[in-house]
Amino acid sequence: MSNFDRRSVLKAGLGGAALLAGPGIVPVRAAEWTNTPEPNASIRVLRWKQFIQAEFDKFAEQTKAFSEKTGVKVKLEAESWEDIRPKAAGA
């Protein structure tokens, strides 16, 4: 058995208190970060043709919501699997 003295108990107690108080002491910078897109920004999304139509429709809906929220124009293109590689290589 180890010998517990006053000093080791105080060290352990202060270490535990520091761990509990640590997140409150360090400011959270990520929450303050605001990202504003450049004027006239646009994104081109190239993806394969849909295997399930509902999935593609949902993706297009989310893309539209992103455009409305951020003001960034998103061009969504869907190509067959064989045409993706040459088109992506030329991008």
Over the stretch 27-58, which tens digit does the pLDDT of each residue have? 666 666 677 888 899 999 988 887 888 999 99
Among 12, 69, 79, which Cα is nearest to 44's? 79
Structural domain range at position 85 = 6-90
- Do the domain assignments include residue 42? yes
Residue 81 domain flag: yes
Structure tokens that stand for 68 in this block = 């409305």
In a domain, 1, yes or no: no
- Cα separation, 90 vs 88, in Å, equals 5
Q: Is residue 20's pLDDT more than 80?
A: no
**Token pair for residue 80?**
């067959």
Domains held by the chain: number? 1
Q: Give residue-wise pLDDT tens across range 52-90.
A: 889 999 999 999 999 999 899 999 988 888 888 887 787
- Note whether residue 40 is domain-resident: yes
